[in-house]
Structure 1
């Protein structure tokens, strides 16, 4: 099963509900107070009709209009309603406070889990779908706690109180009304059965919509350049239409099984109750106050039922969304971790690959029996055509993905013997496409590391010659950076990425075509900085421009996941093999470009 299909499969609702309730355990004290207030407020509302019944049967009917007891009765009625309103406000506030605290924890938990997942997961799962789970689905769960559960708890307590009052007034008729409950539960069960299918479909279509929007916005330049607006619009319309169809089916179900069905049951129950009192009047007197109170309770009985039925649609949406969130939280695809008990420390930075084979999907090999060694202070360059496996070496060395065969050694110890913290601290990685965060220049270099001072940031920027363009900005190091650094040139973004790496003083420097998107003038500055950076450090450089790696201590040429050639720049040229052909081809293109200028 595809990962996307697996994560879209709903969890059993009983399991989902149990886990949702598990989040409430941490708030049991506040919940207890809210429940007691709820019972108190509901009791105040339920006693009101009994007080009216006493007034009608004991005072109004027999014309006993004594002012003192009537004033006490009226005052008690007014006190109960005002007190009930105040108590219900407090309990509703407490329930919503608990609900917001719970949903905040759910969001933190799911986001924390996503951060723990390995890069292999993000390669396959659409970004928009993840965003939908963390935002839209958790918002639906919030409605469950804030609106649905509070309403259900309040109304269930209210219904229990109504039946107690009904049995107090007329046990025989109240017993008959109990038979209405199975019919109502049957309607609820039918609604839950069919609506779960529709709401699961709706949630999945919404995730697809978010994924399509995210993809289109991220690639808007390509969409417009290749005039793909119409196609993207048609695909968006198609997914949106499927979402609307699922929504329309749920609306049809709501219109049939929610209020109309309950209203019909309430009308039938009212007719039966009135018929009962009508028949009873032929054999003896019937107290008008009892009729009023019973009909009032019957009407109040169906009011919370209707409220719960109307909230049932929100309940179903929340349960489906919660199932999707829990699927994501349960997904176990972590990045490779340290496997040995005792963590090693990187001191020199010597690297060795011993017959390493690597595959992203476990089926198609990307690297096959790759072996090489590079020591402290040396520079290893890796070249090859697109798809030859250059970046895969970096992914395996950084432990972004697990390698199945062979050994990767650092300072003579297996890669698995190092903690993530040690690897991230001692290995500095610069990618071809640098990623900048929203903030300013300084925060993108420091990355919120409180141990790095402003002086450290400035020194790193000066070291890689980034201070030249930073000094020309209006706000210098405080210049705002928009999403992905869109207001900066590719060369400026790369210089900031270099400074970000330099400021942490790594023992091992890894460059994945780091100069590919930099102009020639900037590249000269970078090469000078790299020469200074490489001194005393182990450097691995994936290069597209072969002219930038002439002075590397060792060069390996990859072809279809295997090392085809290796040596120095001069020795590889003398071999007149694959490297020499690549170099001659690039040299010809550069000469042609210079001639055309």
Structure 2
């Protein structure tokens, strides 16, 4: 279903329709009430022409229309019109609210589903693509309107045809001859439009992806003067989207409402011709013709509305197919359900870490970790060094359970990591990444991560503990200072200090540092090192280091190359080994001196 270039078969359409319909069931009362009021409006719309017809034929034509009779019919028509308007209001109100609630429900479910998916899924999907799924594709407001109109239109057609049959059954039967033409146009429209809608929505998704990418990378774009090239790429995609949109408009203009209006005009001509022929032999009441033509219009109006809604149906089916793809996605985040010994009350007490012959692959084909084994005792520090792509961050990803591994064992306190509940792992393991993400909120809220359980005092204490208070207190509003998007007003070092405080406020037992000092500025380097020193005290630490000078005091240093451990030992032992680590250390020392 992911390939939106493929045409959906009838069976696939039906499967998607049944899938999306189940989201409507919790809110069915709104649609049932809307249907009841819709029936009332349809009945009143069909009866009101008879009021005028009766007045014209029985009183106006025979000159028996007294003031009392005129007022009676005027008041009757007015009352029916008021009731019809009120019924229409309630129908519209219930229908609109029901559609909004269903959309909101779908968006919440899709968003919740995304949180269950593993990192591998997000590695494969562009951010703009995901945003389109959660925002545009879950907006099925017009789709629910179309489904409701389909049901009520069918009812309106039956009521209007019944009225036509009561007036003149012979001419009414002729009106049925137009139905096969309409059905043929529906089938033709569905075959043509679904393919075009798929292509159009695909281009819209590409537009959102490009916008997200361009806006996020605006600094790089301007720095390398890529504005013209990217502008041309965006315009090409936008022009393709416009082309498909224009084709949709052309198809809708040919096969939807204009076709129905043409057939309605043709049917009125047939009615007038037949009544004219009949008037050659007998008297035909003008009110009767008025009532018949009015009900012919009522007969075709829901068909016209239904035809116009077909575009929403095609759009909705394509969007629903994408929602279905996400909801059926199996690349979920690692769970502990496969471990019989998993316990919700199992706690990490000491923080001992052990990897036993762990192999790992992101794609199931190319191994990025090969037979990784090591032990870190409680309170000790182990560091990983190596070139980009050597597997350092993959060890952190496996340990954090961002990705599932299937070969080897990872243990905490001599217990399989899969036996711990996910909440315990997130609570007792603190992760500090190279890039610290800042939310648009106060500094305090960024440290607390908006967790109401954590007090402001705890956030301030954590900031003091990692020496972040020294620059926070200098801000205009201190800890209450609002952080702009991405924390752009802070230096890289200041953002990292806030990130340290964010980690330490939860008092983790195990600390993971993924190149936490890679991009720091010289102004805050001293504070960073002091903060790291405090953070590591009494905690088991796994650190990925670019600057080897920052891990000289580590209990163990593992050197990785192509997913394998090629050297291990402490700083002094590795220097004596005079191997890969020693070469890296001497090179960095030389660069520092230069």
Aligned equivalent of 2:390: 388
Aligned equivalents of 1:99, 1:158: Cα separation in 2: 21
Give, in whole Å, the separation in 2 of the partners of 1:200 and 1:41. Answer: 36
Is 1:170 matched with 2:168? yes
Question: Structure 1 residues 116, 6: CA separation in 2 closer, same or farther (over 3 Å shift)?
Answer: farther
| SS of 2:435 mapped into structure 1 | coil
Q: Is the 8 A contact 1:196 1:320 kept in 2?
A: yes
Compared CA separation, residues 350 and 8, structure 1 to 2 (3 A): farther
Query: For the Cα contact (< 8 Å) 1:10–1:200, is it kept in 2?
Result: no
TM-score, normalised via structure 1 length: 0.95
Which one of 485, 491, 514 corresponds to residue 487 of structure 2?
485
**How far apart are 1:546 and its partner, in Å?**
0.4
The equivalent of 1:316 in structure 2 is 314
Contact 2:359 2:407 in 1 (8 A): yes
1:429 to 428, 431, 453: 431
Q: Which SS does the other structure have where 1:465 is aligned?
A: coil
1:299 is displaced (CA, Å) by 2.3
Separation in 1 of the partners of 2:573 and 2:45?
94
Partner of 1:271: 269
Shift in CA distance, 7/336, structure 1 to aligned 2, threshold 3 Å = farther
Question: For 1:510, which of 512, 520, 532 is the aligned residue?
Answer: 512
Render the CA deviation track for 1:191-234: whole Å, top value 9, x for unaligned.
12111111111111011011111111111121122221122112
Contact 2:31 / 2:148 at 8 angstroms: preserved in 1?
no
Shift of 1:190: 1.1
SS at match of 2:23: helix
Inter-CA distance 8–184: structure 2 relative to 1 (3 Å threshold):
closer
Post-superposition Cα deviations, 1:341-370, rounded to whole Å, max 9, x if no partner, equal: 432321111111111111111111111101
Q: Residue 122 of structure 2 aligns with which residue?
A: 122
Output the CA distance in 2 between the equivalents of 1:18 and 1:283.
Answer: 55
Tell me the matched-pair count. Answer: 588
1:595 aligned partner:
none
Give 2:581's match in structure 1, choosing from 568, 576, 579: 579
Aligned match for 2:325, one of 324, 327, 336: 327
Cα gap change, 1:530 to 1:4, in 2 (>3 Å):
farther
In the alignment, the residues of structure 2 paired with residue 293 and residue 211 of structure 1 have an alpha-carbon distance, to the nearest angstrom, of 55
Map residues 352-501 of structure 1 onto 2, 5 A cutoff: 352-501=354-503
SS in 2 for 1:348: coil
Contact 1:432/1:512, CA 8 A, preserved across alignment = yes
Flag the 1:390–1:362 CA change in 2: closer, same or farther, 3 A: same
Q: Which residue of the partner structure matches residue 143 of structure 1?
A: 142
Spell out the pairing of 1:192-271 with structure 2 (5 A cutoff): 192-271=190-269
Shift of 1:511: 0.2
Alpha-carbon shift at residue 29 of structure 1 (Å): 2.9
Aligned to 1:298: 296
Tell me the equivalent position of 1:88.
Answer: 88
Q: Does structure 2 retain, via aligned residues, the 8 Å contact 1:377–1:539?
A: yes
Q: 2 CA distance for matches of 1:77 and 1:557?
A: 90
Deviation at 1:472, TM superposition (A): 0.5
The answer to whether the 8 A contact 1:4-1:125 is kept is: no
Q: CA deviation at 1:589?
A: 0.6
- The alpha-carbon distance between structure 1 residues 214 and 451, as it changes in their structure 2 partners (threshold 3 A), is same
| Structure 2 residue aligned with 1:40 | 40
Within 1, Cα distance between the matches of 2:94 and 2:192?
Answer: 33
1:31 counterpart residue number: 31
For 1:371 and 1:186, how far apart are their aligned partners in 2?
68
User: Could you report, residue by residue, the CA deviation over 1:307-342 in whole angstroms, capped at 9, with x for unpaired residues?
Assistant: 222232233222222222222222221111113243
Q: Is the 8 A contact 1:92 1:150 kept in 2?
A: no
Q: CA deviation at 1:51?
A: 1.1
Query: Is 287-296 or 493-502 further displaced after alignment?
Result: 287-296
Shift of 1:462: 0.2
Q: TM-score, normalised by structure 2?
A: 0.95
Residue equivalent to 1:180: 178
Alpha carbons of structure 1 residues 350 and 111: separation in structure 2 relative to 1, 3 Å: same
Measure the CA separation in 1 of the matches of 2:98 and 2:243. 35
What displacement does 1:287 show?
2.5
8 Å CA contact 2:510, 2:541 repeated in 1 = yes
Contact 1:382–1:556, Cα closer than 8 Å, also in 2: yes
* Residue 56 in structure 1 maps to residue 56 in structure 2: yes
Aligned counterpart for 1:546 among listed residues 524, 548, 555: 548
What residue ranges of structure 2 are gaps of 5+ in the alignment?
Answer: none
CA contact (8 A) 2:382 2:555 kept: yes
Q: Distance in 1 between matches of 2:8 and 2:258?
A: 29
Give distance in 2, aligned partners of 1:541 and 1:7.
46
**1:379-403: CA deviation from partner (whole Å, max 9, x where unpaired):** 0011111111000000010010111
Structure 1 contact 7–327 (Cα < 8 Å) conserved: no
Change over 3 Å in CA distance of 1:7–1:425 after alignment to 2: farther
Give the superposition deviation at 1:280.
Answer: 2.2
> Displacement, 1:85?
0.8
Aligned equivalents of 1:143, 1:35: Cα separation in 2: 16
Query: CA 1:30–1:243 in structure 2 vs 1: closer, same or farther (change >3 Å)?
Result: closer
How far did 1:404 drift?
A: 2.4
The 2-side partners of 1:13 and 1:31 are apart by 22
Gaps of 5+ in 1: 593-597
Please identify, of 422-431 and 323-332, the stretch whose mean Cα deviation from structure 2 is larger. 323-332
Deviation readout 1:427-474 (Å, 9 max, x if unpaired)? 100001111111111111101222211110010000000001100001
Please state whether the residue corresponding to 2:541 is helix, strand or coil. Answer: strand
State the distance in 2 between where 1:6 and 1:301 align: 37
Q: How far, CA to CA, are the matches of 2:420 and 2:8 in structure 1?
A: 38
